[in-house]
Structure 1
Amino acid sequence: MTITFGIIGTNWITESWIQAAHKTGQWKLHSVYSRSQDQAKSFGSKYDCSNAYTSLDSFFGDDGMQAVYIASPNSLHYEQAKQALKAKKHVILEKPATSTPEELDDLFRVAQEEGVFVIEAFRHIQEANYKLLQKLVNDEKRLGPIYGASFTYASYSSRYNNVLAGEVPNIFSLDFSGGSLVDIGVYPVTFAIALFGEPKEQTYVPFVCRTGVDGGGVIVLRYDNFGVQINHSKSYTSAAVCEVYGEKGTITVNATTDISTIKHWDPQSKKTEELAGSYKTVEKPNVNMEEEAVEFARIINEKDSKAVSELEKISRIVIKVTSDLRRQNGLLYPADKQ
């Protein structure tokens, strides 16, 4: 069944979601919310969607809309998602789902009460090649005991130019629950948690930029017998690959998102083998969201509460870890103080 959905947030990531969702044939844009009526109409017209709203009450009251994709500033996620759930709409919530673990707990509670789903849009862990990697790290023949891992996602943001010019973009503002950790670092953190589970403890050495948020930094996740190093940033770029180190080999992955190569190096034969499957991506904007759109449609149509519970578990661990890392370094949001 085709799922009709609305959007909050008329930015590039929303464009990517709509294009990917439509490409699957399992979603149809039904309505657009924006503070500007002209913006809502203009954005919707590109996708043959004429339902434009500037009132959230009217938007969520649209009976023809089954689900909503929320990609507004981070600090607005909680209230908007809660209103959507109370209107009995399924919610696809861009990461970070909320500002604090307490807010996320409340959303899961409300979703349960209303009989709908709230799913955090971690697109990268829905990629076929990521799911292949999950199998490989548990392959005793290829890796054996794991000794460690190193994951990187560091990409200079054009908005950092605004920071250097004395401005405070939303994503570089504590008031809007911003910072590199929750915007970029959350990718490798989730990458690690979906592979290895919840760490025993975590530490973070951030670079704090002039607006008071972290512009990037180095994280260490500690597990029983190994550690995971994470390098992330919106203020600098790294070309480093991602690696998992085992007694019987090393697995090298090109990145934490849009995985196109998974190479296994055997220390005995000294040979490298490519294991990745075919790589799919959506044309312009170049963000791979098709696989998550297919999976989320399946979950909603099949009412797969078990799959939702697994994703919920990951989301709970991720925000627990990232909130602890922030709070260790005094990176506090207004929601932390409530």
Structure 2
Amino acid sequence: MNRNKGLDFHINRRTLVKAGAAALAMPAVFASARAQEKYVAKIAHTEAVGSPLTNAFEAWTKTLNEKSDGRIEAQHFPAGQLGKLGDLLEGSRIGTIQVTTAGPDSEEAIAPEIAAFGGAPGFIYKDEAHVDAVLQGPLGEEASRIAREKTGVEFVAYGETGFRHVLSKTPVTDLDSLKGMKIRVPELRIWVDFWKLLGANPTPLPYTEQYSALSTGIIDALDSDLYSIIGFKWYEQAKNLTLTYHWFLPKAVRVNAAWLDSMPADLQELVRTSAKEHFAEQRKVNRANTEKALEELKSLGVEVHRLSDEQRAKWAELTEPLFADFGSKSPETQQMIDKIRALG
């Protein structure tokens, strides 16, 4: 009887030891399983195929797939393949789209204090050096933090499409030629107000509808960077380009924060670090090829006009009240506008 009790004791002890070892091993098993989990990243935006921004997203997609050893499955959908900009922005907030891009002005309704980073309300950025001082420094990090808290996305990097100009069916050389012109604007109040102050007739339309709107006469003009004019072939419907430099549009690389937080630390670091590297290169390419894009448009039959310094000063003067109006949304918004302008 005693021998059986002793045997039971040894059996139970071995069982406990094995159970303890298994319990100790469980965290490692879970960690290993989590490390091998695949994280799908739908990268969707409305930028034109062949543009520097789209090329940067294509290169970044490849980097995420290769350097994650397949743990991130990045899929790239440019040129509105998965929907209009508003749909993609909402998808990035709720997580059905993991990555998209837009100007920070797209946050006007939710976080107006960071909308000014998107160029609102016009003439806020003096030049590209001013843009870099704002977005590649503490203010850019602050904008990302605010976006995370209020919209559920993190700005992991900033690309750009550059300064916007006016593409129109008839030449725009002064305020008189702009008067009453139906110009497409995003569905944001600040853009509507900007063009109203200049005497134009702003017409809110989704980004992807601009070609058909030009062809049918719904609009007479649009404002855009040079690369999008080429990529979406808007020059086929409007043959006059006026270099106005009225609005510089950075593009925040927006990543759903919950998706980012769900990944292991090494993958989070890969997403953030590789994004900064690819879009730093994108900014260089974008700026280096501006003149080349302008020459290409000329070869496609576009007549190029330049807004005189005097006229540009008048445009800036007429739209100056928008800074106070936009800043009235909240003390934080006015403070952010002041910080941005002070760096210029």
Write 1 or 2 for the structure with the bigger share of helix: 2
In our comparison, the structure showing a higher alpha carbon Rg is 2
Write 1 or 2 for the structure with the bigger share of strand: 1
The one of the two structures with greater contact order (alpha-carbon pairs below 8 A, sep at least 6) is: 2
TM-score by length of structure 2 reads: 0.29
TM-score by length of structure 1 reads: 0.29
